Amino acid sequence: MATTARHPILGPLLERYARELDAKLVDLARLQKEWECEPPVILRAAARAAPRRLWSRRGEDGEDGEYDDEYDAPKPPRTPWSNHEKERLRRGLLFHGLGRWEKIRDALKKTSRAKHPTNDVAATCWDLLRALRANLKPGGKESTYVSTRLRGAPEKPGGSREDDDGPDELVGPWSKVKTLARSWARRLELLDGVNRAAERAVAEETQDDALALLDSRDFPRGDKLPAFWNATCDLYLLHGIATHGFGAWEAIRADPECFAAFAHAARESGGDAALEELTKSCERIDARAAAIASKMKGMHGGKDPTIAHAEDCECFVCKRRRAKRDATKTTTAAEKADDDDDDDDDDEDDDEDEDQEEEEEEEEVHEEEDEDEDEDDDGNEENEETDNDESAAVNTPRGDGTKSKSKEEAKADREAAREAARLQRIANKKTHKDIKRANVTPNSWPLAEVLTHRVKQLAKGLGARDVLAPSDPPWVAAYLGRKRKRAPRDRNLPLHAFGGGEDDDAREKAKRRAERRERKRARAKRRSARNAQVAE
């Protein structure tokens, strides 16, 4: 029964395959005739000889031999990685994501690229991922993601694939991995979604369906995007990220291909007025960047600001360093006075909670981290001398035998200094945002935080794993003579599958703030209980 039931199905299939094969043969015959009519081509340079295969025997007793290619040179041995090479590699990985080894290798210097081929770059990136897994809590969201990605990783050089999380001998330990492991894991997970969304937006098999999804009402659209923003702008935004990396907004805007798409969308939306508005906003951004660069260059006596810093330098890094130094002078004495009472307060739970709070505030990777650390090292000796002087001043007895400052007064001074610094940071951040948003118009270039939020939406929606099924490319109808097959998109997907809007992000931030408050209350209760036990 099964054999007879399949005959009606096989007949039409064989006929269709025969028609398609006949069409291809006709096309090949036409191309053959065109090639025979063309004049002969005379090669002016000798063609490269094909690699010779040399026969070699495995043994002396006439066993089977194997072919060896004399052009197959052995791979060069791996070379050790220096600290600055690892830092550049880490930045490239957090700009482009796993799997984009050539882009990550381009982030290295020319001399480093000569020492480290692509396979070495990939092996070192996987070593960083193993270091992240070793410093993450098992069972968490970030640890689960890292473990899942490592299942498809190649075997570690000189070790096993799954269980060996120790550092590679040629790479060594990674800096900052203990405190920033969660932040880097979240960044890599986001970049996986961004890369999937970019592939679906660029690939011809899924590009039409991706544009239809972006134009649909199901996909959220931010209110802070320009008025001209459409699905094509999203497509070229993802294309720019695939080319220049995540967060390189200025490079994406300066890309001629991407900016041409943005300008075309602005002209179609609001005419020449909208295009002029977009162009002027970009000119203001360039002028402001040039003014800042010129000002910094003038502050440093016409030299490169990254090379020399004067004592009275007014750049951001030097101001921040001096602010840290001043804050240290006012708080070191109070902290030293409270050390005797608070020796037992710095337990491991508090340290882990503080690390988590710092990690949640760091959503993006800043390249100024290394500069701040290098420049802060220059003032260590001066800070130590200041600390000794301040502690001596606090603990020096007066003529009547009492200390110059009580512990309560020192604690009050410390709290006042912290509150003043917090209010100043809030005021500076608000002023900076107000200055940026003052020049924002309906058709101006969006701010960096707006673009970051939009890319996260695209990663959640278009980069989700089973949102779009691959379809036939557009050239199928022209070459094979049949209708293009396109996989239908599931219209019953819930809205949260496309990643909610700004309200969801606000609720998530409020939830994290509530969790931090609960942790602070728990720490305060533990501290009060310990103090009560000590008093008893």
Token digits of residue 24: 């291809």
Is the pTM higher than 0.85?
Answer: no
Q: Can you list the residues of the chain whose pLDDT is less than 50?
A: 1-6, 43-73, 162, 305-307, 344-403, 431-432, 435, 487-503
pLDDT at 439: 57
* Torsion angle, alpha carbons of 291, 297, 298, 302, to 10: -140
Tell me how long the chain is.
Answer: 536
Contact 171, 86 (CB under 8 A): yes
Predicted confidence at residue 13, as pLDDT, reads: 74
Query: Hey, CA dihedral for 80, 84, 89, 93, is it positive or negative?
Result: positive
- Tell me the β-bridge partners of 67: 55
pLDDT digits (tens, 9 = 90+) for 209-230: 788 888 776 677 777 888 888 8
**Helix H or strand E encompassing 113:** helix 110-115
- DSSP symbols for 359-410: HHH--S--TTHHHHHHHHHHTHHHHHHHHHHHHHHHH-B-TTS-BSS-HHHH
Residue 94 is predicted with a pLDDT of 92
DSSP alpha helices (H): ranges in 246-368?
A: 249-254, 256-299, 316-337, 348-361
Do the Cβ atoms of 229 and 220 come closer than 8 Å? no
Domain limits of the chain? 83-175, 200-303+445-510, 315-337+374-395+405-444
Strands 53-57 and 65-69: antiparallel
Nearest to 86 by CA among 116, 44, 51, 48: 116
At residue 383, φ and ψ (nearest 5 deg) are -65, -40
Which DSSP letter does residue 216 get?
S
**Kind and range of the H or E run holding 338:** none
- Asked whether the beta carbons of 171 and 124 are under 8 A apart, the reply is yes
Instruction: Tell me if 377 sits within 8 A of 324, measured CB to CB.
Output: no
Q: How far apart are CA 380 and CA 116, in angstroms?
A: 36
E strands present in 98-145: none
| pLDDT the model gives residue 532 | 87
What is the Cα–Cα distance from 135 to 183, expressed in whole angstroms?
Answer: 12
Tell me whether residue 160 is exposed, middle or buried, using C-beta atoms within 10 angstroms of its C-beta: 0 to 12, 13 to 18, 19 or more.
Answer: exposed
Q: How far apart are CA 183 and CA 179, in angstroms?
A: 9
Mean pLDDT for the chain overall: 71
